[in-house]
Each structure stands twice: as C-alpha cells, then as structure tokens.
Amino acid sequence: MQEISQATAIVLAGASLGWIMLFSFVLSPVAFKQFDAGRAERLVKHVMNAGHGILGLIAFASAIAALMAGAVAGAAVAAVAGAFAFMCRFALAPRDDKPIKGHRVIKTARIVASGLTAFIAPVLIAAIVLTLMGI
C-alpha cells in the first residue's frame, strides 16, 4: 500500500509539474506573441480560472498520497504547492478591477501570470524528491 501511495503522489505531482510547464513556458508566451495584449490577457485569465483550481486540487491530492506513503515532508511541500496554485488563481486571474489612473500595464501581465506559476515548479520538484526519499 505504501508503494502505491508513493507512486500516486509522484504521478500527481508530476502531472501538476507538467501543467505548470505547459502554462508558463508554452501557453502564456505564445498567447502574448500571437494575439494582441488584451486578447492574450483574457486568454491567460480564462486558462488560469479554468485550470489553476484543478492544479491546486491535484497538488493537494499528491500531498494526501505522500502522507499516506509516510513522506510527511513531501506531503507538506506538495500542500504548499497546492496553496500557491490557489493563490495564483485567486490573486491574478479574476482581476476585473478598474485600471489605476486610467490605464493598465499589459506588458507585465505575461511575466506575472507565467512567472508566479513557474515559481511553483521547484516546490513540486522538492515534493517529488522528498516523497521518493520517504522523508
């Protein structure tokens, strides 16, 4: 049972890592290269609203599986990654507020959206390593 839980935790953390890489290094840069800034921002927001909640749930499921495998530190780190995913979703995606002083800086939207999501990747890698080590 412990081996199955460990494998499940690693697979779920790997799936989360794959989503982060796809979003941060493929979807977001391509959207801002191919579309105008407003359309790209809307696309990135829509993908964050649709995907980052699921990303957080998958990371939390990885944490539960790591905990069942006996890797307490791996579970804690995976839970932190899940919390970061939810923070990215709720802090960045629903930004429908009015622009400050009549304009909004669109150039930094790609950096913020993909950069903050990419910062979750090392946390998930740490969760995978700690779970593999059984720590």
Residue 37: what residue type?
A
Q: Comparing C-alpha atoms, which of 97, 89, 105, 107 is closest to residue 32?
A: 107
pLDDT of residue 114: 79
Please report, for the chain, the start and end positions of each structural domain, with discontinuous segments joined by +: 2-95+103-133
State percent of the chain over pLDDT 90: 60
pLDDT of residue 28: 87
pLDDT of residue 109: 59
pLDDT band at 106 (very low <50, low <70, confident <90, very high): low
The CA-to-CA distance between both ends of the chain, in Å, stands at 17
Min mean pLDDT across 9-13, 29-33, 101-105 is at: 101-105
DSSP tag of 26: I
CB 20 within 8 A of CB 121: yes
pLDDT of residue 89: 82
Task: Tokens for 71, please give them.
Answer: 């890797």
Mean pLDDT over the full length of the chain = 87
Q: Comparing C-alpha atoms, which of 78, 88, 94 is closest to residue 118?
A: 88
What is the C-alpha separation between 127 and 10, in angstroms, rounded?
A: 8
Question: What's the whole-number mean pLDDT along residues 45-55?
Answer: 89
pLDDT of residue 57: 96
Q: What is the pLDDT of residues 18-44, one digit of tens each?
A: 999 999 999 988 988 999 888 888 888
What is the C-alpha separation between 64 and 131, in angstroms, rounded?
A: 11
